[in-house]
Structure 1
Amino acid sequence: MEKEASLTLGLAEKQVLETERLLLRPVRLADAEDMYEYAGDDETTRYVFPTHQSLQDTKEGIATYFMSAPLGKFAIEEYQSGKMIGTIDLRVEEALRKGELGYALNKAYWGQGFVPEAAMAILSLGFDHLGLISIQAVHDVDNPNSGKVMEKIGMTKIGLIPSERMNKGKVVDMVLYSISRKDWQRHIL
């Protein structure tokens, strides 16, 4: 029996993905100003990460999170403008053959279908290229719009995870969504 390819190799082979309107590519320091535009905005970051206080915070975040371990982490670049409008990532657990999806988008681009479009490319990467068996995502219970994105891409609400994490000094309940490879195949047909 042939050994399954490593997920790390699979992610290394697919560092750039394209959709109709988007280029998903590695995040680079040159993206700092575009990222700071939303990472420095309280409304955009409310449910996802601490708001950046300076462009330097954003550069540090890019270097430590995105560039130090870039596989599975993508800038969302809009083709039309060439602007980096957000990020999306697929964190994989090699031994379990599963992944977790996460994303952030500049609020100026909310409601235009960019995250579902990028997420569908990430799900395809996970299921069609990497052979994952399931992909999960979570959102803050107070952020139901993120759950709507998860439903649009075929994910099913699994349940509530009480007191799952701390965010900005507050204990947060999270809602868990998941999609299996079988459900993915049904969703895209």
Structure 2
Amino acid sequence: MEEYSYLLSCHNHLDGKRILLRPVVLSDAEDMFEYASDEETVRFVFEKHQDIAETRKNIAVHFMKEPLGKYGIVLKETEKMIGTIDLRLKEEKNSAEIGYTLNKAYWGNGYITEAGKIILELGFETLGLERIFACHDSENPMSGKVMKRLGMTYEGTLRKNRIHKKRYIDDVHYSILKQDYLS
């Protein structure tokens, strides 16, 4: 993990065409609260934030305490943080999972696909991972479309795989292998 930690530390700012991926900081609280307090945006990922203090605490505990592999998605043009994306390493398997959230005001503009491509490049070309995977709630097919645009292959659906917001979730799994990414 030391090698991964070092490489992630060296690559904590990642540049895209329209976006920048960088660590989330407390000054992002207003931008994050804008979407974290919206039920439609967070329906499939976490409980809606009730106030900005909750968002600030979430940033401190989730993003700042262990920042490696966790990025704010920032529009270059305005410097507004519009979402987050992270790469959760599974060192023992030389793989990682991608997770993301995007402010609904920016849906349909390709920002998550752009961020995902940056993360795939980091994972395969810098970290040397063999496999990167993701899953989505079966009731959120738009997330699956992002995974397909990233070149991921459908692997299967785990029925009633977990409980989220008091309901059973069917998780739809996708992955991409290094050999597929490079071809």
TM-score by length of structure 1 reads 0.95
Equivalence for 1:41 = 38
**C-alpha distance 5-67 of structure 1, shift in aligned 2 (>3 A):** closer
| 1:140-179 aligned within 5 A | 140-179=137-176
SS of the equivalent of 1:88 reads strand
- Partners of 2:84 and 2:2 in 1: CA distance: 26
Equivalence for 2:100 = 103
Contact 1:6 1:94 (8 Å CA) reproduced: no
Equivalence for 2:54 = 57
- Partners of 1:67 and 1:161 in 2: CA distance: 32
SS of the equivalent of 1:166 reads strand
Which ranges in structure 2 are unaligned for 5 or more consecutive residues?
none
Deviation of 1:5 after TM superposition, in Å, equals 7.1
Amino acid at match of 2:35: Y
**C-alpha distance 5-184 of structure 1, shift in aligned 2 (>3 A):** farther
- Partners of 1:16 and 1:60 in 2: CA distance: 23
Root-mean-square deviation (CA, aligned residues, Å) is: 1.1
Deviation of 1:170 after TM superposition, in Å, equals 0.9
Equivalence for 1:19 = 16
- Partners of 2:161 and 2:102 in 1: CA distance: 23
User: Are positions 1:185 and 2:182 aligned together?
Assistant: yes
User: Are positions 1:117 and 2:117 aligned together?
Assistant: no
Equivalence for 2:75 = 78
1:49-97, CA deviations, whole angstroms, 9 ceiling, x for partnerless residues?
A: 1111111111111011000000000000001111000000000011211
**C-alpha distance 168-5 of structure 1, shift in aligned 2 (>3 A):** closer
Which ranges in structure 1 are unaligned for 5 or more consecutive residues?
none
TM-score by length of structure 2 reads 0.98
Amino acid at match of 1:101: I
